[in-house]
A and B are shown apart, each in its own frame.
Chain A
Amino acid sequence: DTEVTQTPKHLVMGMTNKKSLKCEQHMGHRAMYWYKQKAKKPPELMFVYSYEKLSINESVPSRFSPECPNSSLLNLHLHALQPEDSALYLCASLGTPGQKLFFGSGTQLSVL
């Protein structure tokens, strides 16, 4: 089982809304990642959690707030987003051995 599950698949929100993206994996992976991808661009790293602790924050604005409640679950809380935050948000978990990063199918976010 190499599945990373992301919900919802699509999300439309206003600039004053609060919403959350959810990511789940049951492969026993100990590191989980959030990436953001805009059209025709590469995935861009946002956050990394290792053993449920935040280990990398790529200077992401505070309107994005990650949370790792347990080793299988990763959330991204969204508040007061801007239209330019519209993108595909990808979650990934790190499998070992081999350092392979497994991705979910993403959440397509539109901010109006």
Chain B
Amino acid sequence: DQQVKQNSPSLSVQEGRISILNCDYTNSMFDYFLWYKKYPAEGPTFLISISSIKDKNEDGRFTVFLNKSAKHLSLHIVPSQPGDSAVYFCAASATFGSGTYKYIFGTGTRLKVLA
């Protein structure tokens, strides 16, 4: 039962263009969403997050959009740079029991930015 899905396993984009990574979730209890960048054999690096009370959050080249009714979020990277090439995971968080947050990760999208 994959509650958080990234339907595109891979994406190739030309340098300077926009990269759009998508993520869908099924559990309406999720109230916080995050994007992480990951290299092999390393820990995920936090990029940007959004609360369920917002529909957009921007930080430099990264913008996250949330569509609660569609249970969909997306990460836009503009302009894309070769150094952005990595695997990107979305994650969704819900409160569990006595205030503990449970984070579920999506299946990942490998982004390749071509020079």
Contact = CB atoms under 8 A, between A and B. Distances in A.
- Interface range on chain B (Cβ under 8 Å from partner): 20 to 34
B42 A56 contact: no
Given A43-B89, A99-B49, A104 B43 contact: yes
A9 B11 CA distance: 30
Given A55-B98, A99-B49, A100-B49, A42 B106 contact: yes
Contact of A90 (B43, B46, B97): B43
Given A50-B99, A55-B96, A100-B49, A45 B44 contact: no
B100 A55 contact: yes
Given A4-B43, A55-B97, A45 B34 contact: no
Interface in B95-115: 96-108
A94 B34 CA distance: 13
Interface of A: 4, 6, 31, 33, 40-45, 48, 50, 55-56, 88, 90, 92, 94, 98-106, 108
20 contacts: A4-B43, A31-B100, A40-B108, A41-B107, A41-B108, A42-B89, A43-B105, A45-B102, A45-B103, A48-B96, A50-B98, A50-B99, A50-B100, A55-B96, A92-B43, A101-B93, A103-B36, A103-B44, A105-B43, A106-B43
